[in-house]
């Protein structure tokens, strides 16, 4: 689709986004995010409220040394206080002192807020808006005026809400942003009201700032654009107060790919997934797997019929190609899988399986049997690849277990228990017998196995266990319940999962641990030792 009329993107992750519960960025984080937003192609980056806290003041000071290529840095603030001249208002002075060339200031559009929250007259509120915009403009700043609570105010006193916009427009505001501050407006109302404002203020540049309290932040933003708004405000991943703001990660591809507007270049759009995950990482929040466009599960296919169709034509079950937004197609294997799932996954490992081959039927049958026992291969692709290689005869073991013993000791009630693993493994024709301690039985097993294999497979030093999860599968069985252990391992920047299931937690952990070591060595390009090679290494 060729891009049509351009949309102006205004990101407020660093200001409105940080008002969300549990979201906090350091000044350094904010600088890094601002740089990333700039590279992505955001037009305005609202950095914060410079007069409100030392962190925002530091951020604006540091940003003086940052050369932005695409974006303009914006400082946020309110109109002057009632009865105070603009030149005496600390908030407006802080905006000027921040060094920005664009100010985003908010004022009251709802008469109820003017009289009850501000405690002033409707006439004074209009003067506050006009004076503040005019003062900033006279000092050389571009002004974006945020009409707070506009939709609520318009529904209750249409004439006055429009007067507040007129006051900002006549004083030089470049953009009038209509804010659904409480997030309670419906899309059809947004469309009707934005259309009415366009008619009442012909030629005014209109924007939309939507909150997500009804789950409609994105829908309301798109409705406003349909009605004529060309300036869109939101946050990355929808971070924000209460239920959050309109999510730019959803808004941008919908505008560009579905509605034909120009937001960013195609190259920039391909970094959308990366941007979403980058901001989540700095916010110390796990990415949401089903986050539209960018989530890990968004282009994941599980049902066999779906996968069969996707293999023939991806558009059968994908509304866009995942690479357009920097995401990727994934095929999951489970008890719901058919041969198509396994064929697709095997291709990723450069393994070709014929749909009528005995190996394929064996793999499908094994997966269904194991998942019935409690295995879960969606999060254990390392174990799955090993399973396929075993089925087609492409698997060579790196070692085999001759025996193991675990000793758990606790000398007194107040002391921490100690764990020791004694292990005997065969590599080629050589047997290694060793022991190691750990801060728990699984850690002791891991340490002992590594100690036994490290001389033979030095690459094991590059393989690190990064996560260990245990889930009880049949809770009603009490302490005899079956458990599933998922291990996440990393090697040379690549991460993979392995799985083990047993009614014995040590056995389940051992199964997952062995897969993690073998798959890790395979992923690192290490070949299994032959009998002759192992004898030479150990001699």
The model's pLDDT over 463-493, given as tens digits with 9 standing for 90+, comes to 988 888 888 877 666 666 788 888 989 888 7
Is 507 domain-assigned? Answer: yes
**Rg of the chain on CA atoms, in Å:** 30
More confident residue, 1 or 238: 238
Identify whether residues 385 and 445 lie together within a single domain: no
At 245, list the tokens. 């703001």
Is 23 domain-assigned? Answer: yes
Is 291 domain-assigned? Answer: no
Domain extent, residue 27, equals 8-264
pTM, rounded to two decimals? 0.71
Q: Of the candidates 236, 264, 292, which is a domain's last residue?
A: 264
Identify whether residues 411 and 384 lie together within a single domain: no
Question: Over pLDDT 70: what percentage of the chain?
Answer: 91
Q: Specify the pLDDT at position 340.
A: 65
More confident residue, 532 or 110: 110
Picking from 21-25, 138-142, 302-306, 382-386, which range would have the lowest pLDDT averaged per residue?
A: 302-306
Q: Specify the pLDDT at position 318.
A: 82
Instruction: Give pLDDT tens digits for 295-354.
Output: 988 887 766 666 667 767 877 888 999 999 999 877 666 545 556 667 776 776 677 777
Is 287 domain-assigned? Answer: no
Distance CA 503, CA 473 (A): 9
Identify whether residues 247 and 343 lie together within a single domain: no
Q: Of the candidates 264, 285, 311, which is a domain's last residue?
A: 264
The C-alpha angle 41, 46, 47, rounded to 5 degrees, equals 110
What region, left, alpha or beta, does residue 492 occupy, with left being phi > 0 and alpha being psi -120 to 50 degrees?
Answer: left
Instruction: Give pLDDT tens digits for 379-414.
Output: 788 888 888 888 777 788 899 899 989 998 887 777
Instruction: Please classify residue 236 by burial: count the beta carbons closer than 10 Å to its beta carbon, then call 0-12 exposed, 13-18 middle and 19+ buried.
Output: buried
Please give the sequence-ordered ranges of beta strands (E in DSSP) within 367-482, or none if there are none.
400-409, 418-427, 430-438, 463-472
For the sheet containing 483-491, what is the strand order? 463-472, 483-491, 494-502
Is 125 domain-assigned? Answer: yes
The count of structural domains within the chain is 3
Is 282 domain-assigned? Answer: no
Q: Of the candidates 357, 391, 425, which is a domain's last residue?
A: 391
More confident residue, 388 or 62: 62
Candidates 450, 447, 458, 445; CA nearest to 407 is: 445
Q: Do residues 179 and 193 touch, judged by C-beta distance below 8 A?
A: no
Distance CA 349, CA 344 (A): 9
C-alpha of 327 from chain center? 12
Identify whether residues 85 and 202 lie together within a single domain: yes
CA distances from 318 to 268, 273, 297, 313 (A): 21, 16, 12, 9
Q: Which H or E element spans position 383? A: helix 381-391
Identify whether residues 43 and 173 lie together within a single domain: yes
């Amino acid at each position: 689709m060729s891009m049509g009329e351009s949309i102006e993107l205004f990101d407020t992750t660093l200001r409105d986004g940080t008002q969300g519960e549990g979201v906090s960025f350091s000044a350094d984080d904010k600088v890094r995010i601002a740089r990333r937003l700039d590279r992505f192609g955001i037009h305005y980056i609202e950095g914060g409220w410079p007069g409100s806290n030392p962190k925002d003041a530091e951020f604006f000071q540091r940003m003086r040394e940052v050369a932005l290529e695409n974006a303009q840095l914006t400082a946020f603030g309110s109109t002057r206080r009632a009865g105070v001249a603009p030149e005496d208002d600390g908030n407006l002075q802080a905006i000027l002192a921040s060094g920005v060339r664009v100010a985003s200031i908010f004022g009251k559009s709802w008469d109820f807020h003017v009289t009850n929250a501000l405690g002033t007259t409707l006439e004074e509120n209009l003067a506050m808006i006009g004076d503040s915009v005019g003062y900033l403009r006279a000092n050389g700043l571009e002004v974006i005026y945020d009409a707070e609570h506009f939709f609520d105010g318009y529904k209750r006193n249409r004439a006055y809400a429009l007067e507040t916009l007129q006051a900002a427009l006549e004083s030089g505001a470049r953009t009038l942003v209509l804010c659904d501050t409480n997030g309670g407006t419906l899309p059809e109302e947004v469309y009707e009201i934005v259309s009415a404002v366009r008619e009442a203020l012909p030629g005014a540049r209109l924007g939309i700032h939507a909150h997500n309290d009804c789950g409609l932040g994105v829908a309301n933003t798109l409705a406003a654009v349909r009605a004529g708004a060309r300036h869109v405000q939101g946050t990355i991943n929808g971070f924000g107060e209460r239920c959050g703001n309109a999510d730019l990660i959803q808004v941008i591809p919908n505008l560009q790919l579905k509605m034909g507007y120009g937001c960013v270049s195609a190259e920039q759009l391909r970094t959308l997934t990366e941007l979403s995950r980058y901001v989540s990482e700095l916010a110390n929040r796990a990415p949401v797997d089903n986050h539209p466009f960018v989530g890990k599960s968004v282009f994941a296919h599980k049902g066999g019929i779906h996968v069969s169709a996707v293999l023939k034509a991806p558009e059968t079950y994908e509304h866009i190609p995942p690479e357009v937004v920097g995401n990727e197609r994934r095929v999951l294997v489970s008890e719901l899988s058919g041969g198509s799932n396994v064929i697709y996954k095997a291709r990723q490992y450069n393994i070709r399986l014929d749909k009528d081959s005995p190996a394929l039927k064996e793999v499908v049958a094994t997966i269904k049997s194991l998942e019935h026992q409690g295995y879960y291969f969606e999060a254990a692709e390392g174990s799955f690849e090993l399973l396929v290689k075993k089925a087609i005869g492409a698997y060579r073991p790196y070692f085999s277990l001759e025996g193991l013993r675990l000793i758990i000791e606790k000398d007194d009630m107040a002391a921490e228990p100690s764990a020791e693993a004694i292990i005997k493994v065969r590599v080629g024709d050589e047997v290694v017998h060793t022991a190691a301690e750990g801060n728990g039985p699984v850690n002791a097993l891991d340490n002992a196995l590594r100690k036994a294999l490290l001389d033979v497979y030095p690459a094991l030093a590059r393989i690190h266990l990064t996560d260990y999860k245990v889930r009880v599968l049949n809770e009603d069985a009490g302490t005899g319940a079956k458990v599933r252990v998922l291990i996440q391992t990393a090697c040379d920047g690549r991460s993979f999962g392995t799985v083990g299931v047993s009614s014995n937690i040590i056995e389940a952990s051992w199964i997952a641990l062995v897969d993690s070591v073998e798959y890790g060595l395979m992923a690192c390009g290490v070949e299994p030792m032959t009998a002759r090679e192992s004898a030479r290494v150990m001699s």
